[in-house]
Chains A and B, each alone.
Chain A
């Protein structure tokens, strides 16, 4: 762990990546404390691993039992329907400013990425993408509200480009965005995207070309609402947030309340995206476990080409996560003895998982963002001649405990949302409780997998 050489291609920034749900453990060498869950769970747990995992599962189960004591329909509805309308006029100036910032950020990443200083902590492109955008901005999306539709620089650029307006084949649905998300995460895991600024800029450039081409062919609205994986990630995270823009100003609700609405996630493809969002974070951590190193070594010795290992693991794990969810849906129909189609249950219960994903993201990236934001600000003022010692804030020791609290909060919100959803679906309250058993079991499974990754020592992924 601490004797790992720092230039393994997995430095601090390297770990902070598209890991969405990150109970991935990244122990960073550049900082005293990364504020990751790593900090909360030292290399050597004080308790046996099985007990640690069981406790995680037990907490989820106990939360469900506690939620099931809330049986008052009127109360549950009141909680979910509570809202305030904030009469905010369509702020054209603010929107224009956001668009400008977005495009400026994109240009900065491309220019500084290619010709700026190439050490990670002094490179504005790397700091902007990972600290400013992926950590800080994403946190604002699920804690406050989704502004990506306005900030999105590719949408701003696409708006002034001509469009062909080809018809998007509806049978593809959201599947291309699922594939896109998996592809981006695979790229992030197998290449040093957070260490090499020029490589990062190349990937951003490639993404720009594909995105703008897609927007030109299928119109920006269609592309960003359906195909673009990044936009979809923010749309889904934005559902966890309390604020949403409606036609008559802003609507304030309780965090997570919008997750139990009908017709938010629609169809098997969108359910798959939610599961992919959970899985990719786990994957990022999974490839650093000793178990993966052993398995990969064994497979390569068998004659499996090393280049196939990572994509195969990515798809296999996604298959396991998705399979677990689909099995839960089938079992739920059995438990609830309902005539509702499986599709209805799958789409209504899937959004609750987004709260878990947001909780993991916050646990992982809040400390990361706080400790590295001075570096971002400093380097932003002198992108081409950053100071030799970039300032970072060391995080206090108790921050790890805070991270575990965020994970727990995400679970509590998810369980509450599932509870409200079940009450909305079934006339009998007991039936509603029973329908949740398999889903709670799946939540336990996801949690225990993540905690297992946290508890394992952190190795450099082999064969890269």
Chain B
């Protein structure tokens, strides 16, 4: 839970901690009723999300490599 005031969805009763998430929600659940401005916000949020996901994928890959070699060494030492 964040300390900032929640950002409400204008079309339903959901609330979000970040502008980006509210925009993504609009794109997912209310894509048929959006204004032009909201559409732009959704597009921007989606681009940001894809960039964030790319970063996360790299981290996840690093974690997998670390796990793999960690276990490889552990087994070569202890098994």
Contacts and interface: CB of A to CB of B under 8 A. Distances in A.
B44 interface: no
A65 interface: yes
A71 interface: yes
Q: Would you call the interface of chain A mostly helix, strand, loop, or mixed? A: helix
Given A65-B63, A334-B1, A427 B16 contact: yes
Contact of A337 (B2, B25, B27): B2
Given A339-B17, A428-B20, A51 B79 contact: yes
Interface in B46-79: 49, 52-53, 56-57, 60, 63-64, 67-68, 71, 74-75, 78-79
Interface stretch (A54-62, A153-161, A360-368): A54-62
A430 B74 contact: no
Contacts of B63: 65
B28 A427 contact: yes
Identify the 7 closest CB pairs spanning chains A and B, nearest first: A427-B25, A427-B24, A337-B17, A339-B15, A47-B79, A428-B21, A65-B60
A69 interface: yes
Contacts of A54: 71, 74
A453 interface: no
From A47, A69, A73, A430, name the one whose CB has the most chain B CB atoms within 10 angstroms. A430
Contacts of A69: 57, 60
Given A338-B17, A339-B6, A430 B75 contact: no
A58 B67 contact: yes
A48 B77 CA distance: 11
Contact of B52 (A337, A338, A426, A430): A430
B53 A47 contact: no
Interface of A: 46-48, 51, 54-55, 58, 61-62, 65-66, 68-69, 71, 73, 333-334, 337-339, 426-431, 433
A426 B22 CA distance: 10
A431 B56 CA distance: 11
Nearest to B54: A71
Contacts of B16: 338-339, 427
A430 B71 contact: no
Nearest to A48: B78
6 contacts: A51-B74, A51-B79, A62-B64, A68-B57, A68-B60, A334-B1
B78 A65 contact: no
Contacts of A55: 71
Given A47-B78, A51-B75, A333-B1, A430 B56 contact: yes
Contacts of B57: 68-69
A427 B14 CA distance: 11
Contacts of A339: 1, 6, 14-17
Contacts of A338: 1, 16-17
